[in-house]
Chain A
Amino acid sequence: MWIKKVHIVGFGQFNEQTFDFVQGLQIVQGLNEAGKTTLHQFLFDMLFGFPQAKGRKINTYEPLNKGPYGGSMQFEVDGQLYELERLGRTQTATTLTAVATGQQFADPEAMLTKLLGPVDRDLYLAIFSFDQAALMNIFSLKPDDFASYLRTLATPGAQNWLEVANRWEKTATAKFGSTKTAHRELNQALANLKTQRQQLQNKIRQQPSLDKLQAEAQHLSQRVTSLQQRQEQIQGQMSHQQAQVHLVPVYRRWQQIKQQVKATGKSLDLTVADKADRVRQQLAALDEVMVTTAVTKQQVESATVALRQLEKLEKQQQTLAEQQVKSVQAQNELLEKYHWTQIPPLLTEQQKARLGGQRETTQANSDYRWLIVAAIICVVVIIGALLAGHWMIGMLLAVLVLVISWWGSRRPEQTKTTLNGSQDLPAAYQQMSANDIFAVQADIQHINDMMSSNNQIIHDQQAMMPELVKVRATLNWLGEGLTVDEYRKRLADIHIKQETMGQQQLQRANLQQTLQDLYQELGVKDAAMLRQRRDAQRHINDLQREANVLEEQLKDADLHELAAQTVVKPDDQSEADEQQHILKRIQDEKNQLNQKLAEINVQLQNLQTDNTIEHQQQVVANQVAVVNQQLTQYFVDRLGSEWIRQALNAAIADRLPNLLTQAGVILSQLTDNHYQTIQQTKTLLKVVRDDGKILGVNQLSKGTAEQLYVALRLAFVKTVAAALQLPLLIDDAFVDFDNQRRQTMLNVLKDLASSEQQIFYFTAQKTPGEQVLELTHQQ
Chain B
Amino acid sequence: MKFIHAGDLHLGNPFGGLSVTPDWLTDKLQSATETAVHRLVDDAITAAVDFVVLAGDLFDSTTPDARAQLDLVKELERLATANIPVYIGFGNHDYVVDWQRLPTFPKNVTLFPEAVTTYDLQTQNHETVAISGFSYTQRHITTDQVAQFPMKANQADWHIGVYHGAVGEVGSGNYAPFNLQALQDKHYDYWALGHIHVRETLQAKPFIGYSGSIQGLDKTETNAKGYYMVESDGDELVPTFTPVAPITWVTANLRTNRDLSTVVQYVREQFAAKDEFELITLELITEDPNVLSAIVNQQLLAQFVAAAQPTDMFFIYDIQAQTQDQQMPLPAVDETYWSETVADVFTREQLQKLGLKQVTDVAVLDHFLNEQTLQELHTAVQTQLHLAQMGDEYHVD
Contacts and interface: CB of A to CB of B under 8 A. Distances in A.
Interface of A: 53, 55, 57-58, 118, 120, 122-123, 155-158, 160-161, 164, 168, 176, 178, 186, 190, 193-194, 197, 204, 207-211, 213-214, 604, 607-611, 613-615, 617-618, 620-629, 631-632, 634-640, 642-644, 646-651, 654, 723
Interface string B360-394: 11011001100001001110110011001100110
B300 to A, nearest CB: 14
A607 B350 contact: no
B330 interface: yes
B329 interface: yes
Contact of A648 (B19, B103, B332, B376): B332
Contacts of B344: 646
Contact of B74 (A608, A610, A615, A643): A608
B337 A648 contact: yes
Contacts of A613: 65-67
Nearest to A160: B392
Given A155-B333, A628-B368, A637-B384, 6 more contacts: A57-B397, A210-B69, A614-B67, A626-B19, A635-B356, A642-B350
A624 B367 CA distance: 9
Contacts of B356: 631, 635
A610 B67 contact: yes
A120 B393 contact: yes
B102 interface: yes
A158 B65 CA distance: 54
Interface stretch (B10-18, B145-153, B158-166, B207-215): B10-18
26 contacts: A55-B396, A55-B397, A155-B332, A156-B332, A158-B333, A190-B364, A193-B361, A210-B69, A211-B101, A211-B102, A610-B67, A611-B30, A615-B30, A623-B19, A625-B16, A625-B19, A627-B359, A631-B355, A632-B373, A632-B376, A632-B377, A638-B355, A646-B344, A647-B333, A650-B333, A650-B340
B311 interface: no
A614 B104 CA distance: 21
B361 A614 contact: no
Q: How large is the interface on B (under 10, 10 to 19, 20 to 34, 35 or more residues)?
A: 35 or more
Nearest to B25: A618
Given A604-B70, A618-B15, A642 B354 contact: yes
B345 A646 contact: yes
Contacts of A617: 12-14, 65
A654 B67 contact: no
A462 B233 CA distance: 162
Contacts of A624: 16, 361, 363-364, 367
B70 A618 contact: no
Chain A CB within 10 Å — which of B100, B333, B337, B355 has the most? B333
Interface string B17-44: 1111100001001100000000000000
Nearest to B383: A636
Contact of B14 (A57, A178, A607, A618): A618
Contacts of A55: 396-397
A90 B210 CA distance: 59
B337 A650 contact: yes
B105 to A, nearest CB: 11
B67 A118 contact: no
Nearest to B340: A650
Contacts of A623: 19
Contacts of B334: 651, 723
Nearest to B33: A614
B71 interface: yes
Interface of B: 12-21, 26, 29-30, 63, 65-71, 74, 100-104, 298, 329-334, 337-338, 340-342, 344-346, 350-351, 354-356, 358-361, 363-364, 367-368, 373, 376-378, 380-381, 384-385, 388-389, 392-393, 396-397
A256 to B, nearest CB: 61
Nearest to B11: A614
A157 B337 contact: no
Going nearest first, the 3 A-B pairs with the smallest beta carbon separation are: A621-B14, A651-B333, A210-B66
B77 to A, nearest CB: 12
A214 B103 CA distance: 8
A194 B360 contact: yes
Nearest to A209: B66
A122 B393 CA distance: 9
A607 B67 contact: yes
B15 A176 contact: no
Contacts of B360: 190, 194
B70 A627 contact: no
Contacts of A622: 14, 18-21
Nearest to B385: A640
**Which residue among B18, B26, B341 has the maximum number of chain A CB atoms within 10 Å of its CB?**
B341
B350 A608 contact: no
B67 A643 contact: no
A765 B346 CA distance: 53
Contacts of B393: 120
B18 A625 contact: yes
A95 B272 CA distance: 43
B363 to A, nearest CB: 5
B341 A646 contact: yes
A614 to B, nearest CB: 5
Given A194-B361, A640-B381, A608 B70 contact: yes
A155 B334 CA distance: 10
Given A639-B381, A644-B385, A614 B338 contact: no
Given A123-B332, A210-B66, A607-B66, A636 B74 contact: no
Contacts of A626: 19-20
A388 B366 CA distance: 160
A661 to B, nearest CB: 19
Contacts of A123: 331-332
Contacts of B63: 204
Given A210-B103, A643-B338, A53 B329 contact: no
B361 A197 contact: yes
B346 A651 contact: no
Nearest to B333: A651
A348 to B, nearest CB: 169
Contacts of A632: 373, 376-377, 380
Contact of A639 (B68, B69, B350): B350
Nearest to B296: A633
A160 B350 CA distance: 24
A157 B355 contact: no
Nearest to B347: A639
Contacts of B380: 632, 636
A617 B337 CA distance: 44
Nearest to B63: A204
A57 to B, nearest CB: 6
Given A211-B103, A621-B16, A643 B68 contact: no
B332 A639 contact: no
Nearest to A627: B364
B368 A635 contact: yes
A168 B381 CA distance: 11
Contacts of B337: 647-648, 650-651, 654
Contacts of B30: 611, 614-615, 618
A634 B355 contact: yes
Given A613-B67, A647-B337, A647-B338, A161 B103 contact: no
Contacts of A158: 332-333
B277 to A, nearest CB: 15
A221 to B, nearest CB: 12
A618 B331 contact: no
A198 to B, nearest CB: 11
A226 B323 CA distance: 75
A631 B341 contact: no
Contacts of B392: 120, 122, 160
B332 A643 contact: no
A643 B21 contact: no
Contacts of B332: 123, 155-158, 160-161, 644, 647-648, 651
A168 B296 CA distance: 13
Contacts of A621: 14-18, 363
